[in-house]
């Protein structure tokens, strides 16, 4: 059985995603000239996007990862944020870009941004491939985002449902019967 059969329709093709990521990388390169930012990826969903984004940024930079969850195996945020893996090094005085696959309720990113601000970075900005403002519950926005998406359950290119579908090379809308 192919995982492609679980997709109702393709929302963004692989080619569209690559063009948008390149555009985001060029904007970050322009805005951070003379600096060497640290990209903090929020696992697990960010890994595909972050790898492509890093290759589109023409600056000296570093990476680190955090594992933060508020979803569990569901389709909606539980509202309780848990840090499962923290940063490996100090970000004091550094320009930090938090990289996330999708900004949905904002609960996780709002918590994470506040958590990292307590470590005295020079700046913190948020980069997300997808912004879903219709579901926002926390007062947070992305400084860089690729696409604003409607309130549909999308998967692929790192985004999952119950740890599946991350390996799709495109973004697709998951069929309702899969998660209902």
Q: Would you call 119 exposed, middle or buried from its count of C-beta atoms within 10 A (0-12, 13-18, 19+)?
A: middle
Q: Would you call 157 exposed, middle or buried from its count of C-beta atoms within 10 A (0-12, 13-18, 19+)?
A: buried
User: Active-site positions?
Assistant: 104
Q: For residues 109 and 117, is the Cβ–Cβ distance under 8 A? A: no
- Pairing outcome for strands 82-85 and 62-69: antiparallel
**CA 35 to CA 61: how far, in whole Å?**
8
**CA 136 to CA 141: how far, in whole Å?**
9
**CA 120 to CA 133: how far, in whole Å?**
28
Q: Which distant-in-sequence residues (6+ apart) come within 8 Å of 68 by Cβ?
A: 42, 43, 81, 82, 83, 84, 108, 111, 112
């Amino acid at each position: 059985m192919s995982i492609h059969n679980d997709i109702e329709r393709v929302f963004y093709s692989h080619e569209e995603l690559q063009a948008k990521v390149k555009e985001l990388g060029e904007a970050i390169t322009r805005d951070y000239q003379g600096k060497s930012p640290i990209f903090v990826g929020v696992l697990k969903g960010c890994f595909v996007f972050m790898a492509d984004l890093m290759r589109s940024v023409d600056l000296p930079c570093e990476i680190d990862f955090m594992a933060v969850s508020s979803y569990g195996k569901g389709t909606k945020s539980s509202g309780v944020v848990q840090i499962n893996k923290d940063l490996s090094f100090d970000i004091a005085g550094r320009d930090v870009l938090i990289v996330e696959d999708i900004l949905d309720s904002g609960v996780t990113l709002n918590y994470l941004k506040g958590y990292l601000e307590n470590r005295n970075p020079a700046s913190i900005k948020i980069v997300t491939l997808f912004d879903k403002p219709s579901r926002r519950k926390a007062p947070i926005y992305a400084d860089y985002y690729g696409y604003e998406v409607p309130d549909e359950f999308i998967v692929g290119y790192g985004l999952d449902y119950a740890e599946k579908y991350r390996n799709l090379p495109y973004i697709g809308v998951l069929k309702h019967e899969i998660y209902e």
